[in-house]
Amino acid sequence: MAINTYSGTEGAGVSLGQVGSAYLETGTDFLRPTGPTGGANEGVVVAISMLENTEFGDLIAESPTLTINSVTASGGAVTGNQLFPQGLTIYGRWTDVEVILGAVVVYFG
C-alpha cells in the first residue's frame, strides 16, 4: 500500500470525509478492508450522519480510548440499546460500523 502525501488543504479535506461516503441501513456493515484505497488510513470512517434514529451493533474505533465505540472507551462503551437521534453527526475514526436499526451516511477519510 502506498502512502499518499497531501497538501495542507487536501489533508484538511481528507479529514472531513472527502475521500468518499457510503449509505448504511438496518442490517448493513462497513468493515475497513472494503473501504476506498490509496491512503495510509484506507477505509477509516471519520464521520457518521444519522439519517434516521439509529442503533449500532459494532462501532469499532481505530483508537478506543479516543473515540466512542462498542468495545471500550474512557467514557463507556456504546451498546445496541443506545439510540442516536436523526440529524446527529458524530466525528471520530472507526474501522467497523454496523447499523442494527436506522440509516446513516458514513464519510471516509
What mean pLDDT do residues 31-37 have?
56
Residue 33 vs residue 98, higher pLDDT: 98
pTM of the model: 0.74
Q: What is the SS3 assignment for 101? A: strand
Residue 69 vs residue 12, higher pLDDT: 69
Phi/psi at 3 (5° precision): -100, 120
7 burial (CB, 10 Å; 0-12 / 13-18 / 19+) is exposed
Q: What is the SS3 assignment for 94? A: strand
- Residues 2, 42: Cα–Cα separation, whole Å: 10
Lowest average pLDDT, out of 8-12, 71-75, 100-104, goes to: 8-12
What mean pLDDT do residues 36-49 have?
70
